[in-house]
Chains A and B, each alone.
Chain A
Amino acid sequence: MSDPNRKAPDVTDTVSSTRPAPPPVALVNPANRNEGAPRGDDEQVLRLEDVNIFYGDYQAVRGVDMTIGRHQITALIGPSGCGKSTVLRSLNRMNDLIPGARVAGRVTYHGEDLYAREVDPIEVRRRIGMVFQKPNPFPKSIYDNIAYGPRVTGMRVSNMDELVEKALRRAALWDEVKDKRKQSALALSGGQQQRLCIARTIAVSPEVILMDEPCSALDPIATSKIEDLMFELSRDYTIVIVTHNMQQAARVSHRTAFFTAEVDEQGERHGRLIEYDTTNKIFTNPAQKRTEEYITGRFG
């Protein structure tokens, strides 16, 4: 491991993570890994330039500019309804599936405009996967859940069993499910289901994984497992996570973007990006008053 502060998740430990529980208000991460681009990886994977997102006539998000670095965990935080999920979905064109949703401005992936006419959204989603708030395994076996992505995307897989095993291992789920791969995924616990969803996403070898409040439906133990997993995955993947849990953002992310909803002259509410910086800076010395108020719990 390149980073001494990162603890390797112990995949054999099925009961609980050995990581101590966070202090009640862990605004300053004691073991802060988050010095900007920690591993000399400052290549930009995604870039948003003046992004405005609409649902029909309603503008949900206004004027967002940010860049997302390679192999970093970027957290989007802010009060509910400020457009975090909306921004996240714009990164892999999941907004296309919502009738009336429209993205204006530029979202680029390695310099390529994601919304250019000739871009195939299917291809975008293969490279930029997504994990949802509520675990949503297919009502099929564990094995088929993972094999589904490679199958539908036409990946040439010489040995599917091996691929399934690798994905399960990578998602720290193998030891718990290796004997019941042919059983229904719906029999798993919530935390296991969510790790299965991560394994399923990994199976198509995306470069970026978007996570929309992946732990909000889970108990603390399952949450800490997913957080461990995120550290581990950030070595190979770029992760963007929406979370309403500030401690979680402080614990896991390298950079944090703080969003909030602002009321404009016409009295309409729009989500805006207020501050975006290293997680350390956001949580110890935010430049904006609103950020400080939010992270200290005085508003939101």
Chain B
Amino acid sequence: MSTTSTPPASHAANPRHRPSLSQRRSRPGEVLFKLALQFCLLVAFAFLVALIAFAVIKGWNRLDPRLWQEMPTGAASRVARAGVQSAITGTLWVIGLTAAICLPIGIASAIYLEEYADNTRWYNRLLELNIQNLAGVPSIVFGILGLGLIARVIGLGFTVITAAIVLSLLVLPVVIIASREALRAVPRSIRQASYALGATRWQTTWRQVLPAAVPGMSTGAILALSRALGEAAPLILLGAVTFIRFNPDSLLSSYTTLPIQIYNLIKEPQAEFQELAAAAIVLLLVILLALNSAAILIRNRFQKRW
């Protein structure tokens, strides 16, 4: 502080001119803005609640064990005794396989990009850019690719495995991006500590970085799979539309899934079909909510420990 600076215009310097603190004013702008924000939140939330309530009310009569004990039907006369069992098992098969395909590939790609790739190389940057872009490609495009390449050219046909491969491709960018973020959240200091003790890159990755990144990765994986779970568009092209009255029993089985089954039921004019569709929607929503809750739970439980 220089000694020649002007004395600060402090209120303390002249207590008689110190303005009082009790000047609380209302600020309409503040209030309005806050109200607007709350309103937006309310709209979003109200829509969600209305959706669920609508489905529950409409499907109430059909929310019983018939839903998962019985097979679907196309005949209006038998719909009262029908369920969506084959769609549930089909969904489990397809999502299970999707997880088995996309998680190892996605996590391995993320490890390569985060831990091994030299970001100063143009091809690694190109790769990265393309992954970002792929995440934005509409899912129907993946369906077209699956139809042309996997179902026809490779000849896997309209089967569980085709669906799983296409859904894997669809959510792979999401898995990669989420896994990379989880890896990036592991502090550099942990890697340095490991290297400084004479560990190799592989040992450092496998024993320190990956375990620390698992919670973040599982959160990303669950969210990616729940996206695959609700996906209907690509599967419409891949033969999931027909009424399937049996459960898949191999990779090459025909199949249907819940979103597709719902789509089929909704198309029918009779009220009985609509009720069954609503019940199936509730089931799908419950599964999605359960998955997302699991993701949140994992995230909270394994909060950053450093």
Given A94-B196, A129-B196, are A152 and B305 neighbors across the interface (CB < 8 Å)?
A: no
Contact with B along A118-158 (1 / 0, CB 8 A): 00001101100110101011110000000011001100000
Task: Find residues 194-223 in chain A having any chain B CB closer than 8 Å to their own CB.
Answer: 197, 200-201, 204
For residue B198, which residues in chain A have a CB less than 8 angstroms away from its CB?
A: 122-123, 125-126, 149, 152-153, 204
Check B197–A99 contact: CB distance below 8 A. Answer: no
A186 CB-CB contact with B under 8 Å: yes
State in angstroms the CA–CA spacing of A24 and B39 once bound together.
61
Which residue in chain B gives the minimum CB-CB distance to A131?
B196
Mark out the residues of chain A between 59 and 115 whose CB falls within 8 Å of any chain B CB in the assembled complex: 92, 94, 97, 99-100
- From B131-139, B140-148, B170-178, B184-192, the one touching the partner chain is B184-192
- Given contact pairs A136-B190, A139-B212, A152 touches B120 in the complex (Cβ within 8 A): no
- Taking a contact as CB atoms under 8 Å apart, the answer to whether A186 and B196 are in contact is no
Contact of A200 among B189, B197, B208 (CB under 8 A): B197
Q: Which of A92, A99, A136, A204 contacts B193 (CB 8 A)?
A: A136
Judge whether B203 is part of the interface by a CB distance below 8 angstroms.
yes
The interface size of chain A toward B, counting residues with CB under 8 Å, comes to 27
Contact of B305 among A97, A153, A186, A201 (CB under 8 A): A186
Q: Are B193 and A138 in contact (CB under 8 A)?
A: yes
Report the minimal beta-carbon distance from B288 to chain A, rounded to whole angstroms.
Answer: 32
**With A99-B118, A138-B208: A132-B199 Cβ-Cβ less than 8 Å:** no
How many Cβ-Cβ contacts under 8 Å join chain A to chain B?
A: 71
Known A-B contacts: A94-B195, A136-B192, A148-B207. Give 11 more (CB < 8 A). A92-B196, A94-B196, A122-B198, A125-B198, A136-B189, A136-B190, A149-B199, A153-B197, A186-B306, A200-B197, A204-B197
Query: What separation, in Å, do the CA atoms of A130 and B196 have in the docked complex?
Result: 6
**Of all chain B residues, which has the CB nearest A96?**
B195
Interface check B61, CB cutoff 8 A: no
Is A152 in contact with B207, judged by CB distance below 8 angstroms?
Answer: yes
Q: Is the CB of A132 within 8 A of B189?
A: yes
Tell me the bound Cα distance from A225 to B191 in angstroms. 26
In the complex, which of the residues A129, A148, A152, A153 has the most CB atoms of chain B within 10 Å of its own CB atom?
A152
18 residue pairs of the A-B complex, CB under 8 angstroms, read: A92-B196, A94-B196, A97-B195, A122-B199, A122-B200, A125-B196, A125-B197, A126-B197, A130-B196, A132-B189, A132-B193, A139-B212, A148-B207, A149-B199, A152-B207, A184-B305, A186-B305, A200-B197
Q: Using Cβ atoms and an 8 Å threshold, which residues of chain A touch B187? A: 136
Q: With CB as the reference atom, state the residue of chain A lying closest to B212.
A: A139
CB of B280, distance to nearest CB on chain A (Å): 43
Which residues of chain A are within 8 angstroms of B305 by Cβ–Cβ distance? 139, 184, 186
Give the complex CA separation of A134 and B199 in angstroms. 20
The total of chain B residues at the interface (CB under 8 A) is 22
Q: Which residues of B contact A152 (CB under 8 A)?
A: 194, 197-200, 203, 207
Instruction: Please give me the residue from chain B that is nearest to A184 by CB atom.
Output: B305
| Chain B residue with the shortest CB-CB distance to A203 | B197
**Interchain CB contact (< 8 A) of A148 among B191, B197, B306:** B197
Residues in chain A near residue B130, CB distance under 8 A: none
Closest 6 CB pairs of A and B: A126-B198, A136-B189, A149-B197, A130-B196, A152-B199, A153-B198
Chain B residues positioned under 8 Å from A139 (CB to CB)? 190, 212, 305-306
Closest residue of A by beta carbon distance from B186:
A139
Q: Whole-angstrom distance between the alpha carbons of A130 and B193 in the complex? A: 8
Kindly state whether residue B69 has any CB partner on chain A within 8 Å: no
Inter-subunit contact A153/B199 (CB<8 Å) = yes
Minimum CB distance partner of A154 in chain B: B198
Q: Give the CA-CA distance A136 to B188 in the complex, in Å.
A: 10
A199 to chain B, nearest CB (A): 12
Query: Is B119 on the interface with A (CB-CB < 8 A)?
Result: yes
Which B residues, 113 to 131, have Cβ-Cβ distances below 8 Å to chain A? 118-120
Determine which residue in A137, A148, A197 has the highest number of CB atoms from chain B within 10 A of its CB, and name it: A148
Q: Specify which chain A residues have a CB less than 8 angstroms from the CB of B207 in the assembled complex.
A: 148, 152
What is the CA–CA distance of A136 and B118 in the complex, to the nearest angstrom?
25
Tell me the minimal C-beta distance from A295 to chain B in angstroms. Answer: 27
Chain B residues within an 8 Å CB radius of A201: 196-197
* Residues of A close to B199: CB separation below 8 A: 122, 148-149, 152-153
Structural contact, B120 and A138, CB atoms closer than 8 A? no
Give, as a whole number of angstroms, the nearest-CB distance from B212 to chain A.
6
B-contacting residues, A139-185, CB 8 Å: 139, 148-149, 152-153, 184
Q: Are A132 and B192 in contact (CB under 8 A)?
A: yes
Q: Closest chain A residue to B120 by CB distance? A: A99
User: Chain B contacts of A94 at CB under 8 A?
Assistant: 192, 195-196
Residue of B nearest to A153 (CB): B198
Q: Which of B119, B195, B203, B306 contacts A125 (CB 8 A)?
A: B195
CB distance from A185 to the nearest CB of B (A): 10
